[in-house]
């Protein structure tokens, strides 16, 4: 434990943070920056040269550990035939989850510059709208489910089978059913769970967090557009509140609309960058979620005590359902907030504006008719409808699989 604390102190002491000239009131990404550093990913411009070499070594080590874990799970499922069929299926799920976590880690590394740009552009404020607060609570709930699932896994290892592997994995240092197997098993599972936890769940919430911050910017933009056409003290009073864009100097309708259009173009650029990353990120996430849920339901159906097995996998399936849900929820947030911009172009005193502003508003109304959507894997639209489709297809595939293995 002491060595771990010393190591963490070394990591953060070697980071020479280059703070911006304007001090931010709030760093909403502090937790995610910490996780990225633990994964060996340093964001551009945040660390000195010595720290970069250190992080590169950590990242390379983790990149080698994941394939090793995949190989151990796979060989264990193939060679340890004395274990039950369901136990070996658990090893296959270990192969899938480790593979998914490995690809997520690589996607993060190769997109670290884009992540840095999005963090900088959406930092310094907190989404305090009801939807924003709901998203924060959803993130906390997801993390609590994850910790619960991991805790149950460790308890099962320590109490239920102290001298036998919970699921078969291969390693040259273990002889099954001996005291050394207990120690090796504990080390193996702790390493596996720690790496998968860091590479999966905080990373999932990172993209949701960025989306929530972007949506708060869209909310502020909507409030500002609704001020068009208002005059006198009414506009001045609303411009002084926090939930509108800051406009310097004397504000008329043309200047206010120009500021809104410039801000909207900037936000669309952020959404485009986020969408490109999610195109890649959604592939391992969807593959892991779909196959894990399918195998989980299949394991319950093949168990002698289905009720007991169902309670056993309940934390696991809850986490997987939440994992795919938060990705779809991110797309739903973007779609809703961009739709609000379309209605804000109508929901103002446009009849009090001049002809030039009316023409510009008409262009905004036309441009925003088509909703802005996030896509995953270049095909799937991220929305709650997609979540419903994934869940339905999981149960359909499970029905087919169950029929194949239970034919008389």
pLDDT tens, position by position, 253-307: 888 888 889 999 999 999 999 999 998 888 888 888 888 888 888 888 887 778 8
**Tokens at 33, concatenated:** 């920056």
Which helix (H) or strand (E) element contains residue 331?
Answer: helix 306-344
- Cβ–Cβ contacts within 10 Å for residue 36, how many? 25
Neighbouring C-beta atoms of residue 393, cutoff 10 Å? 13
Residue 224 lies in a domain: yes
- Average pLDDT of every residue of the chain: 80
pLDDT of residue 159: 67
Query: Is 21 a residue whose pLDDT tops 50?
Result: no
Domain containing 300 equals: 39-405
Please name every residue paired with 381 in a beta bridge, in sequence order, or none if there are none: 375
Q: What's the burial of 217, exposed, middle or buried (CB within 10 Å: 0-12/13-18/19+)?
A: buried
Distance CA 151, CA 148 (A): 5
Has residue 31 been placed in a domain? no
22 domain-assigned? no
CA atoms within 13 A on the CB side of 224: 27
What does the alpha-carbon distance between residue 102 and residue 238 come to, in Å, rounded to a whole number?
49
Number of domains in the chain: 1
pTM across the whole model: 0.84
Q: What is the pLDDT of residues 204-239, one digit of tens each?
A: 889 999 999 999 999 999 988 888 887 766 666 666
**Cα–Cα distance for residue pair 71/94, rounded to 1 Å:** 10
**Mean pLDDT, rounded, for 115-131:** 90
Distance between CA 125 and CA 216 in Å, rounded? 9
Does 71 map to a domain?
yes
> Tokens 């995949």, residue?
70
CB 48 within 8 A of CB 15: yes
Q: Looking at residue 332, what is its pLDDT?
A: 92
177: left (phi over 0), alpha (psi -120 to 50) or beta: left
**Could you tell me the CA-to-CA distances from 14 to 84, 115, 125, 275 in Å, in that order?**
49, 21, 27, 33
In a domain, 32, yes or no: no
Q: What is the pLDDT of residue 4?
A: 36
Given this model, what pLDDT does residue 16 score?
A: 37
Of residues 377 and 184, which shows the higher confidence score? Answer: 377
In a domain, 19, yes or no: no
pLDDT value for 20: 36
Largest CA distance in the chain: 85
Assigned domain for 104 exists: yes
Check: CB of residue 200 under 8 Å from CB of residue 323.
yes
Q: Which of these ranges, 34-43, 146-155, 254-263, 367-376, has the smallest mean pLDDT? A: 146-155
Q: Is residue 251 a part of any domain in this protein?
A: yes
pLDDT attached to residue 283: 87
User: Is 245 within 8 Å of 259 (Cβ atoms)?
Assistant: yes
């Amino acid at each position: 434990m002491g060595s771990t604390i010393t190591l963490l102190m070394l990591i953060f002491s070697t980071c020479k943070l280059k703070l911006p000239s304007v001090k931010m009131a709030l760093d909403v990404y502090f937790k995610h920056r910490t996780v990225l550093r633990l994964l060996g990913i340093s964001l551009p411009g945040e660390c000195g040269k010595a720290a970069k070499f250190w992080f590169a070594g950590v990242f390379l080590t983790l990149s080698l550990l994941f394939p090793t874990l995949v190989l151990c799970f796979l060989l264990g499922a193939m060679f340890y035939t004395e274990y039950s069929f369901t136990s070996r299926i658990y090893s296959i799920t270990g192969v899938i989850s480790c593979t998914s976590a490995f690809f997520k880690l690589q996607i993060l590394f190769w997109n670290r510059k884009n992540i840095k740009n999005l963090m900088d552009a959406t930092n310094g404020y907190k989404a305090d709208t009801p939807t924003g607060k709901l998203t924060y609570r959803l993130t906390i709930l997801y993390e609590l489910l994850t910790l619960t699932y991991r805790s149950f896994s460790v308890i099962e290892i320590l109490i239920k089978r102290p001298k036998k592997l919970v699921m078969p994995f291969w390693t040259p240092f273990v002889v099954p059913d001996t005291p050394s197997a207990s120690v090796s098993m504990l080390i193996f599972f702790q390493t596996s769970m720690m790496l998968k936890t860091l590479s999966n769940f905080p990373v999932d919430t990172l993209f949701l967090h960025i989306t929530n911050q972007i949506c708060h910017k869209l909310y502020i933009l909507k409030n500002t557009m609704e001020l068009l056409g208002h005059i006198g003290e009414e506009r001045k009073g609303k411009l002084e509140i926090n939930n509108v864009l800051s406009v310097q100097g004397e504000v008329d309708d043309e200047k206010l609309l120009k500021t809104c259009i410039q801000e909207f173009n900037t936000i669309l650029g952020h959404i485009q960058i986020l969408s490109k990353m999610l195109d890649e990120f959604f592939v391992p996430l969807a593959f892991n979620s779909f196959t894990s849920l399918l195998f989980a339901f299949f394991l319950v159906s093949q168990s002698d005590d289905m009720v007991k097995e169902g309670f056993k996998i309940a934390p696991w399936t809850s986490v997987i359902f939440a994992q795919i849900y938060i990705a779809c929820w991110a797309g739903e947030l973007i779609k809703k907030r961009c739709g609000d911009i379309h209605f804000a172009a109508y929901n103002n005193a446009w009849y009090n504006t001049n002809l030039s502003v009316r023409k510009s508003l008409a262009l905004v109304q036309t441009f925003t008719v088509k909703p802005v959507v996030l896509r995953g894997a270049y095909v799937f639209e991220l929305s709650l409808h997609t979540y419903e489709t994934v869940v339905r297809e999981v149960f359909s595939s499970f029905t087919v699989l169950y029929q194949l293995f239970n034919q008389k």
